Structure 1
């Protein structure tokens, strides 16, 4: 439902509540019956009764199509309805009290709906009050005015009270439509954000499983090639076995990512043990020993374990592929309610201003995204020839965002 459709429904809000039309129809039929009965008790006039019936049908027709006059020719509508009422009162003189007291309050109530302006409604009341007094004076005599005027105001008070309640009901209906429209917009926005977030998550998972796994296999294949050239067949065979194991592991992780099972299985994972496995894979691929310093850690949420393991694996993979480092260290500790991970190397370093600007280099972008999900912070420092230092800090109570 678009915004324009909501506005159109607002314009015709009073016409979209069928109960209002049925009540008016019932009331007009009741007025018609009362008028006929009062008139025929005094004088039976069939010709005038037929004309009166036609006028009542015309009154109902105009009322049903009053929405046509809501924004244009409003005063013409009230003039026509008022004329019908007073002509009917003179056609059926003995039944005129039923016509006047029955239909004038409806016209007053409708003026509240249409104009929604106090001065205009008061003006309508005055305009109707004058011909009402004149019609009663002609049909019953001026001495009867003190009796009929209070009756008119009593019925008008009831009609106005009902009309005010109806306006509140209509306003509540309009607000409900507006809130429904806003809810639909919000729901659509959530869907769009969910799709965008899911695309990023899939990109991260593919990078952390397939891309890292294939990169590790390529380095092992290169090592196998070197050992074969040096006739070191035994070592080459060992690396082939390691490569087969690594390929199976990468395939398993890829399947878990596709089936979205990683979040269910990560709860039982020992964080430090998984970090050690990442370090072993790095050492096997590069022959670089990693200096590690792990403090005793409190229980970590599955979200923190999942993202931190992948961040550490990504950093080690980048060191293996690009750093040309001789020394690597990883430190993990807690400080002031936060989990801190520090990864350092003494490699060639790089220009941190180029992060995210090189096609095909998305590893550190993934690290930054995972840190943001954990409501954490990441500090990357690197200089040419002086190595790289990556410090990640995330709240221990993180629930993600």
Structure 2
């Protein structure tokens, strides 16, 4: 606690009272009150010069204390006590005002330097001893008795200041702790944001460029197979579909790029977008596909976009890997939830080894997109039987703000 206190408030001894200007200003005010107010007419010219010199020495000792005393606080306070006593030697008549002002100021310095009540009490006793001893030596014991009420008032005032000051210390330490925690939390959020953005970009690139090129490759393979069989008419039909698919892939890629550059919301037609994905599947697969789409609720473009990508990814996986003869796409609204069910009768796969297949990001991308819209996903697959993907998306999580 002590080291932490000093690191926050007094990085070095020259920062004993931070900043130093208030202490210097306080000493100057006490000096002016002694010379020009209370003791006006009582100090001679030589006594005033002596007071000024001693005050300058005292300020210099304070300003350069770290270089002079090398963190030995007790030596610093002894020297300051001696300097304070010098005021009484210089002027027997005007010393009380300046000593009464300087003693509390030096005791407050000890409160800041020593985060230890015992050391502060010992330092206070030292300065009170100087004050009391000086009065007894110069003016007698009766003068000390007369000064006791003033000393008591000063002591109470310093106690009140100490309570207030250390409350501020505690509050500042707590504030800095909170600020540090906020800084760490901000760094963590920034890291998570960057990670999420990288994942989003990876999904978008996979669902546009990667899947688009994969579709073109399958169409080119179909063209090559038909040309080998001299089925030129069918090959030409697939060429036209391939060009249409290439244009759509380019358009989708531009949408992804624009999405990265802008936060502008674009309206999407769910039924039309899903029909395009089903048509694309028909062009690259010989499997028969049936659909049942029935959505009446208003859904945000963000949710629609994720749904379209999910369906696209599932159909592309079927076209590339499943070797299915029949595919069923069912997207319906049930109890304020969207139920997406995509099944095929293909070769199936072992879902237990899915995470070990490097480069197969389709199912991973689907899962990430489902989680991004607070949905749930369940995948069932058996070899030589087929695969079923069931996804449930809560509609209330995806309603546009303007519709909510």
TM-score by length of 1: 0.87
Aligned counterparts, 1:253-292, within 5 A: 253-260=252-259, 267-292=266-291
Higher deviation after alignment, 91-100 or 52-61: 52-61
Match of 2:61 in 1: 62
Q: Is the 8 A contact 1:112 1:163 kept in 2?
A: yes
Q: Is the 8 A contact 2:13 2:71 kept in 1?
A: no
Deviation at 1:117? 3.4
List runs of 5+ in structure 1 lacking aligned partners. none
Distance change (3 Å), C-alpha of 1:5 and 1:74: closer
Higher deviation after alignment, 259-268 or 237-246: 259-268
* Distance across 2 between alignment mates of 1:318 and 1:59: 85
Whether 2:44 is the aligned partner of 1:44: answer yes
Q: Is the 8 A contact 1:137 1:145 kept in 2?
A: yes
Match of 1:295 in 2: 294
Match of 1:23 in 2: 22
* Distance across 2 between alignment mates of 1:54 and 1:342: 93
Match of 1:199 in 2: 198
Tell me how many residue pairs correspond in the alignment: 396
Distance change (3 Å), C-alpha of 1:59 and 1:171: farther
Whether 2:193 is the aligned partner of 1:190: answer no
Match of 2:383 in 1: 384
Higher deviation after alignment, 91-100 or 149-158: 149-158
Structure 1 vs Structure 2 CA RMSD: 3.2
* Distance across 1 between alignment mates of 2:176 and 2:162: 21
* Distance across 1 between alignment mates of 2:151 and 2:250: 87
Deviation at 1:122? 3.0
* Distance across 1 between alignment mates of 2:340 and 2:104: 79
Distance change (3 Å), C-alpha of 1:325 and 1:6: farther
SS in 1 for 2:182: helix
Q: Is the 8 A contact 2:286 2:325 kept in 1?
A: no
Match of 1:147 in 2: 146
Deviation at 1:217? 1.0
Higher deviation after alignment, 33-42 or 380-389: 33-42
Deviation at 1:342? 0.9
* Distance across 1 between alignment mates of 2:302 and 2:188: 25
Q: Is the 8 A contact 1:109 1:160 kept in 2?
A: no
Deviation at 1:124? 2.8
Distance change (3 Å), C-alpha of 1:80 and 1:14: closer
* Distance across 1 between alignment mates of 2:332 and 2:145: 94
* Distance across 2 between alignment mates of 1:13 and 1:178: 21
Match of 1:137 in 2: 136
Distance change (3 Å), C-alpha of 1:167 and 1:67: farther
Match of 1:111 in 2: 110
* Distance across 2 between alignment mates of 1:7 and 1:366: 53
* Distance across 1 between alignment mates of 2:69 and 2:167: 18
Distance change (3 Å), C-alpha of 1:184 and 1:254: same
TM-score by length of 2: 0.86
Q: Is the 8 A contact 1:39 1:92 kept in 2?
A: no
Higher deviation after alignment, 11-20 or 256-265: 11-20
Distance change (3 Å), C-alpha of 1:252 and 1:265: farther
Distance change (3 Å), C-alpha of 1:58 and 1:43: closer
* Distance across 1 between alignment mates of 2:254 and 2:6: 50
SS in 2 for 1:12: coil
* Distance across 2 between alignment mates of 1:395 and 1:91: 88
